[in-house]
Amino acid sequence: MINERVKIILGSSAVILSSIFSTLWSYWGIVENFHEGWYYQSLIMNLFLFFRQYYAFALIFILLPMLAIFKRKLGAWLLILVGVAIPLLWVRSSAALVIFSLPMILIGVLFLLGSNGGKNWNRSILLAPPLLATLIFGFEPALRVSKRVNDGFKGATEVKGNNVNLIWAPAGPGWPQTSSDLNYTSWNDVNKICAHLSEDGLKLEDTVVGVWRLPSIEEVVASLTRNGNNAGGEWNKITKETNYKIKPDKESPLWNSYSPIIYWWTSTEVDSNSVYRIVYNGTFQKINKKLKMGSLGFRAVKDVQNNKNSK
């Protein structure tokens, strides 16, 4: 038999572990929500996406332990069952097993073997840290997103960047707006789309037109904006680093802030198998040319001189 002191320690450990993991998931959820989410024009839809896709794990680590504080056995068994069920029915990955399922099962076992102790104190430990993490780490990105510039214009746009001047393709095959528009499978396919894009950028021709292309990472970096002004971005070809006067954001005239696409292919190859992709906030990553994901798109460009010649 476990004595009462050990039971209290086990119960308190369950609450503390729950608070730790709910705080970590709250931090991840609020940051990712304003990074790749929050793209609907409707506040209700944005909140629904937030709680369904980005804050669900945090809520599970809050609500089920909260139930266990007041209904110990019921909450404990639900924690164990959810911990077992999620990798089997929802997220099937080793990461989900390590950072979600195993901790949840452990917390459930601790609640089952322990005692609840001071319910008010446990409730405060469980709720305060994740709430503070959500408020602290969500304040700046929420403020930034609320000030995004979106003029609603989706036509071909001439953008004068930092020593770069290009025409950016209109919405359509040269500038996909949603993941369902991304009907290609590789970087090579994207280049073919650009090559077959009509001069007005609104349709694909059967033969190569050769007017549009993917922008280089240097060109995108130099063209990114913040609050309607050029961000002063520069790409260092030697160190492979970016530098900005102000951190850019997902806004007009380059980006559609109401689109789920947050990454763009660039034409800059790293090696035979990989290229750079650029993020709306000016960061970049090396990715495989065959990568396909719903948040990875592109926007074709053409030189201003080509645009003048087509008139």
Q: What is the pLDDT of residue 99?
A: 80
Q: Residues 6 or more apart from 62 whose CB is under 8 A from it?
A: 18, 22, 126, 127, 130
Of 66-70, 119-123, 173-177, give the lowest mean pLDDT range: 119-123
The mean per-residue pLDDT over the stretch 148-154 comes to 92
- CB 298, CB 214: distance < 8 Å: yes
The mean per-residue pLDDT over the stretch 213-240 comes to 95
Digit-coded pLDDT (tens) for 241-300: 999 999 999 999 999 999 999 999 999 999 999 999 999 999 999 999 999 888 999 999
The mean per-residue pLDDT over the stretch 47-56 comes to 94
How far is the CA of 40 from the CAs of 110, 169, 181, 258, 260, in angstroms? 41, 22, 17, 6, 9
* Per-residue pLDDT band at 91 (split at 50, 70, 90): low
Tell me what the pLDDT averaged over the chain comes to.
91
Q: What is the pLDDT of residue 310?
A: 44
Q: What is the pLDDT of residue 92?
A: 62
Please state, for a pLDDT cut of 90, what percent of the chain lies above it. 76
- CB 122, CB 67: distance < 8 Å: no
DSSP state of 186: S
Instruction: For the chain, count helices (H), then strands (E).
Output: 10, 11
